[in-house]
Structure 1
Amino acid sequence: MKQQSLSSQGVFEKYGRKSRRELFLDEMEQVVPWSALEALVRPHYAKAGKGGQPVGLAIMLRTYFVQQWFNLSDPGVEEALYESAALRRFVGVDLGIAPAPDETTILRFRHLLERHELGGLMLDAVNVHLDARGIRIATGTIVDATILHAPSSTQNASGERDPAMHQTRKGNQWYFGLKAHIGVDAREGIVHSVATSAASVADCHMLPELLHGQERKVWGDGGYQGQTDAIQEAAPKAQDMTCKRTKFKNYVDELQKKKNRSKSRVRAKVEHPFRILKRIFGFDKVRYRGIAKNHHRLCANFALVNLYLHRKRLAVLGQ
């Protein structure tokens, strides 16, 4: 049997550096408005009584955010807490005093947030926090949507695909899942509105839900053309800046093509939240069945996306 030395156990280790995960958690520790978000959940969270004592709210909220940042399942985040000392330090778990939250406790906390629709309130609270630090939502909105895949297999307990999800074709490729629709501030890139639908729903149908009503300009790709009346009904002072058709049967409208290129320089900002959601947080496939649960997860994730997007400015403002 190989005998472990004190050095191999980490007691007298001489060298070390922070991992990318630890650096990420340090940044998030600084920029997340913990007190405001805990205040949202506290009225609905279990109170201490004569029975078993509930896990602390701060621990559960941090566990939930870790689950979103690293795209972990309920059992996956429990296992990660036992494997990673960095995650335990961030969450506030001391294995010498108490175990990490188990997957059932994590599941119940997630269901609590979903039941009281706290995901959307988290997004609003984060945007209020940003506004207080000068990162404000202005009068321009960019709208767009992205497809998130859902399992298309019928090899499950019910023997069928999720009935709330549908398939759609983009180019020559078919996709099965849902669409995440967002409204993004044209100046700061803040996500201020989120809507969720089956993948087969056209982007333009969700447009009114993505506007806050005070817009002066609304940008969007060609999927939103012809929606001037819908835009002005939701935001009476808004100018329709969506991209227009350029190719016709007998000619190409070069002037409109040039205008579309100019609009696209502004519209490109809407891709940044999607990149963070899918590439940084790993949320490119749905984990839950149905629209409601996934909509809640999207709202919570876009709240965290807004903080991640402005983390450097928030860190400076917080000093």
Structure 2
Amino acid sequence: MDLASLRHHGDVDAGPGLLDFAVNVQGSAPPPWLRDRLVVALDGIGRYPAAAHDQQAREAVAARHGRRPDEVLVLAGSAEGFALLPALRPRLAAVVHPGFTEPEAALRAAGVEVVHVLTDEADGHALHPEAVPAEADLVVIGNPTNPTGVLHRAADVRALAAPGRVLLVDEAFADAVPGEAESLAGAADVPGLLVFRSLTKTWALAGLRAGYALGEPELLARLAAPRPPWPVSTLALEAVIGCSAPSAVEEAQRAAERLVTARAEQAERLAAVPGVTVLPGTAPYLLLRLPDGRGDRVRAALRAAGIAVRRGDTFPGLGPDHIRVAVRPASQVSRLVTALSEALEEVAA
């Protein structure tokens, strides 16, 4: 798969005027309390981001996950962390797929050899740690995985760790799972473990670029070595502090519980559409399989009907008959179900 395909993301599928099922951000704007906090912080953007502000953000994240501040690296979104991966100088990177493609794109662009470890739809895209080549000194996996929505057992993910190996777990959607089940964010006992977290999805901050990495201080220092001065903005630092507060964590937990119900209801309605297979998962999105050979035409028909969905064929291990849809309110799901039913009938005819 070429780099252009690996760097295709849901925002490309979405567009002005379309009902957006392609992007997994929950809501169109941050909650009022977070917006107000960011507005107040605007008064400080005439100054460069301060080291003391970064320290405050790292302390807030450390307290949230039971880590030390020197085990936290604040990022301009998880995407910055992926772009920094070549600084670790891996010889062979194993990427578990289907999964988010930006880590592989960053590594391949830097000339790092990458091997795919493909999970199988036939067994629910379960993780088999023994499938990872022993010689891989960097392993990348999402949990829950995007786009399959599979939540791997923490014990299975831990089993990917090995001496001399960096294990990167992308937990961009972990706070959308009740209780952050199977998360390794607080696992300071796993050598070589890196965990990336994003604020984009739950807090509707895609345009702000805010996230963080958790890991051993020496590993974080290697990752951060090529960064320019002031890599994280004042507003992003403020967002990290606010979203790490206990009250915010509780709010995210309540939202995750609501998502469980909404996801189950959306899955049931989509599964009732003839020809649609809803694959099992635990995430604020669903992976669908359409009848053989109809995926491209169905996506085009949905777009003509004003609905954007995420194409699946840019994920290694999936094909054009796979699409991903975000969990959305029931009224929007009704539009999707109607349009999908009509698209399938039109294509079949």
Q: Indicate whether the TM-score tops 0.5.
A: no
Q: Which has the higher helix share?
A: 1
**TM-score where L is the length of structure 1:** 0.27
**TM-score where L is the length of structure 2:** 0.25
